[in-house]
Amino acid sequence: MLPLTGITVVALEHAVAAPFATRQLADLGARVIKIERPGSGDFARRYDESINGQSSYFVWLNRSKESVTLDVKSPRGREILHELVGRSDVLVQNLGPGAADRLGLSAAAVRARDPRKIVLGITGWGSDGPWAGRKAYDLLAQCEAGLVSLTGSADEPARVGISVADIAAGMYGFSAVLAALYQRRLTGEGATLEVSLFEALAEWMGQPAHYTAGSGRQQPRAGARHATIAPYGPFTAGDGRTVLISIQNETEWVRFCAEFLGAPELATDPRFATNTLRVANRDALEAIVDARFAAFGAAEASALLDRAGIANAGVNTVGDFLDHPVLRERKRWRDVDTPGGAIRALLPPISLGDEEPRMDPVPAVGEHTAAVLAELGRSPGEIADLADKKII
């Protein structure tokens, strides 16, 4: 029995942030009923066609869910939606500004009917404040939070290559629901929860925010190097391959000088004796490190770094990652069914001991509509009539 077995979640969701939160709830055993548009479904289904003709986003975010198609703007569709919410423990929504209110599903309205309900709203900029009515997407949040100004090379800023604002909001939404479920067991009361893409990412900007506030300057864009720690970044070995190293403290620095650079005197060189000095004299330091790396192939350099206790990594492509020995040898891949055929998917990162997390199929659009409506007491004739009228 998984930790959330017996919990039912209704998800009025699309794109990334809310689906990421609810998929994690499903991983832990919750029943997630995903409400989709009749015919087309979640627009993330059409972001790309890269995996058996399906969207890579959708198959990543929506396994183990039940898809129910419903025209929630129609009176009969809205009635069914309210029935489903009434039978659920948790409502999650990331609709546009004001949409949940128009459906009669504001947190206040839902919890007035049942104070035990847990309602999570994921917004772009917050449900109040000066930007409450503005649209928000991941890259917009990255830009407004200052993340894009930190990412990229000295010559050009860049977005983070994954939907980091959406993922941050989904993670905080997931953890908030878990906390609210625990609180409800103690008090009997539900909760009104909210997380925004912008404020989730603002939390992740804590270190550069403190750095700028304290120093009066912004840390520079440094490509694959660390902006405020040195040596911490990529170096080219003699065979042309790249090895990234990370020196985190003075003990490691002393060991790196003695055992990898073969120059223990560098540890106390006035240019490099502290991290602040090493960052200030980064060009001179990296010239020394570059010359040493050129004397080894990447595998030889990595082995020597390992013996010295210095953290290092290859700079992999996504293709390299897909065949990574850690994932392979730890048996982290599972087959998951989708409407386009089976795919490989990674287990969730949380280990549940002897319990396997849920890895059920990715649903087709509306695959579970008839079964869920039958649970609500709708007859086959009523279900057929709703389909004829394009309400489902």
How far from chain centre, in Å, is Cα 86? 29
- Which residue shows structure tokens 């790196």? 256
Q: What's the mean per-residue pLDDT of the chain?
A: 96
> Can you give the pLDDT at residue 354?
87
pTM, rounded to two decimals: 0.93
> Can you give the pLDDT at residue 274?
96
Q: Who contacts 226 (Cβ-Cβ below 8 Å, separation ≥6)?
A: 232, 233, 246
Supply φ then ψ for residue 352, to 5 degrees.
Answer: -105, 25
The 10s digit of each residue's pLDDT in 75-94 is 999 999 999 999 999 999 99
> Can you give the pLDDT at residue 138?
97
Q: How far apart are CA 84 and CA 166, in angstroms?
A: 26
Cite the beta strand spans of 303-342 per DSSP E.
311-314, 333-336
Q: How far apart are CA 344 and CA 342, in angstroms?
A: 7
> Can you give the pLDDT at residue 370?
98
- Nearest in space to 182 (alpha carbons), one of 1, 2, 4: 4
pLDDT block averages, 10 residues each, the chain of length 392: 96 98 98 97 96 96 98 97 98 96 97 98 96 95 97 94 97 98 98 98 97 95 93 97 96 97 97 96 97 96 97 95 96 96 95 92 98 97 97 97
> Can you give the pLDDT at residue 95?
96
Q: Are 293 and 284 in contact (CB under 8 A)?
A: no
The count of residues in the chain is 392
Which amino acid belongs to residue 329?
Answer: E
The 10s digit of each residue's pLDDT in 146-199 is 999 999 999 999 999 999 999 999 999 999 999 999 999 999 999 999 999 999
Percent pLDDT > 70 in the chain is 100
Give catalytic residues, as residue numbers: 226
Q: How far apart are CA 292 and CA 304, in angstroms?
A: 12
DSSP 157: B
b vs e for 271-282, b when ≥16 Cβ sit within 10 Å of the residue's Cβ?
ebeebeebbeeb
